[in-house]
Every structure is written in structure tokens, then in C-alpha cells.
Structure 1
Amino acid sequence: MNITIYHNPACGTSRNTLALIRNAGVEPQVIEYIKNPPTRERLKEMIEKAGLTVRQAIREKGTPYAELGLDDPAITDDQLLDAMVAHPLLINRPFVVTPEGVRLCRPSEVVLDILSLPQKGPFVKEDGEMVINEKGERVSKSV
């Protein structure tokens, strides 16, 4: 299965998502998008295929979002996309592309929605939350 993850190794959610993909026995194409950002066209396509608005795909925390005035509702999607390409830290992460779809994998287990391959074993996120049990089955959170 051909899978691409737009990854930030400094992000726990991104690391957990990558580990879940690998737990299915797949080595994805890993693109560190801070160093190698997607083109504007590719970014727009991923956002659309994920069913998001551009504003939903932008990261505010720990980025130049506020100082660039991007919280102004008058800023257009085109202007937001331009800012995201110019400042890749503004791209929320991780985006994952599989033949089954595109998702912004927040939380990391969202990747399982576009990854039909079985998990090879248990998986526990970095924070200790069990996502996949010893039978390779997704664990649902009790609410």
C-alpha cells in the first residue's frame, strides 16, 4: 500500500500516527513538511480531499498565526494557503494520504479510518493510551 505522511518528528501526534502506520506492516513515504513543504496546489488538494476548510487545516498554537494577522476573518482561503506555504509550521499535522483517502490525523488513530490493513500487534500511544489491543483490534474509548 502506497502511503504518504506529512510528518513533524517534533510532534507526538505525528510520531504516534507514523507508528500506527508501521504497526500495520507498512513503511510509508515520510515527508518532513517543515523542511519540504507541499506545493500550494498539493496542500489545497489534501485539504479538500480530507473534507476540511483551509481554516480547519491551519495550526495556530506555536506558529506565527497571530503575528501574521491570520485570525482576521477577512483573510481569504487563498491568502491562508499562501501563508501556509510560506510558513510550513502553519500546516496542521500530520496529513496522511492513502489509496483509501486523506485525513488530518488528529487524534493519531484517525489514520485507522484510511488504513484497512490489519494492525500487527498492540499499540499504545506515547501518553500511555491503548489504541490497539493484543489481538490487533481497535480499542474504543469509553465516554
Structure 2
Amino acid sequence: MDVIIYHKPACETSRNTLAMIRNAGVEPHIIEYLKCPPTRLLLAQLLVRAGLTVRQVLREKDTPFHDLGLGDPALSDDALLSAIGAHPILMNRPLVVTPEGVRLCRPSEQVLDLLPPQRGQFIKEDGERVIDDQGRRVATA
């Protein structure tokens, strides 16, 4: 299975998502999007495939979102894509692409719907058990 993850190594959610991909027996193509951001056209296409708007992929925390006035509802998608192009940190992550679809994997468990079955238990970095010993999802409270 061909999988691409737009990844930020310093992000716990992104690391957990990458680990779940690998726990499914898949070694993905890892694109560190801050070093190699998707082109404007590619990002627009990925968002369409994911069923997301540009606003839904914008990240506010630890970004220039507020300084750039990106909360203004009058801003067009074109303007928002330009902002992401100039400041890739504005793109929320991880974005995962598989033959099953494209998804912004927040929370990281969102990736499970795009992958083959998990090959064993998976526990997130924070200690939350997501997959049991038989590779089945653990019910959440």
C-alpha cells in the first residue's frame, strides 16, 4: 500500500499517526511539510479529496494565524492558500494520503480508517491504548 504522510516530527499527533501507519505494516513516504510543503495546487487537490475547506486545515496555535488576520471570514480560499504557501506552519497536520482516501488525522486514530488492519497493540505516546493485542480498536469512553 502506498501511503504519504505530511509530517512534523516535533508533533506528538503526527508521530502517533506515523507509528500507527507502521503498526499496520506500511512504511510510508514521509514528507516533512515544513521543509518541503505541498504546492498550492496539490494542497487544493488534497483538500478536495479529503472533503475539507482551506479553513479546516488552518492551524492557529503556534503560528502567525492571528498576526496575519486569517480569522477574517471575508478572506477567500485563494488568500488562505497564499498564506499557507508563505507560512507552511499554518497547515494543520498530519495529512495522510492512501488509496483509501485523504484525511487530516486529528486525532491520530483517524488514520486507522485508511489503513490495513493493525498488526498488534498500539499505545499512544501519552499512554492511551488505541489497539489491543489482537489488533482491534479499543473502545473509548
Same fold judged by TM-score > 0.5? yes
TM-score by length of 2: 0.98
The residue correspondences of 1:113-124 to structure 2 (distance < 5 A) are 113-115=113-115, 117-124=116-123
Aligned partner letter, 2:98: T
The residue correspondences of 1:80-99 to structure 2 (distance < 5 A) are 80-99=80-99
Name the structure 1 match of 2:32: 32
Provide runs of 4+ in structure 1 moved above 6 Å.
none
Query: SS of the counterpart of 1:136?
Result: coil
> Equivalents in 2 of 1:120, 1:69: separation in Å?
45
What runs of 5+ residues in structure 2 fail to find an aligned partner? none
Query: SS of the counterpart of 1:5?
Result: strand
Aligned-residue CA RMSD in angstroms? 0.6
- Structure 1 residue 119, shift from structure 2 partner: 0.8
Name the structure 1 match of 2:52: 52
Which deviates more from structure 2 when the two are superposed, residues 28-37 or residues 47-56?
A: 47-56
- Structure 1 residue 74, shift from structure 2 partner: 1.0
Name the structure 2 match of 1:128: 127
TM-score by length of 1: 0.97
What percentage of aligned pairs have identical amino acids? 66
What runs of 5+ residues in structure 1 fail to find an aligned partner? none
Aligned residues between the structures? 141
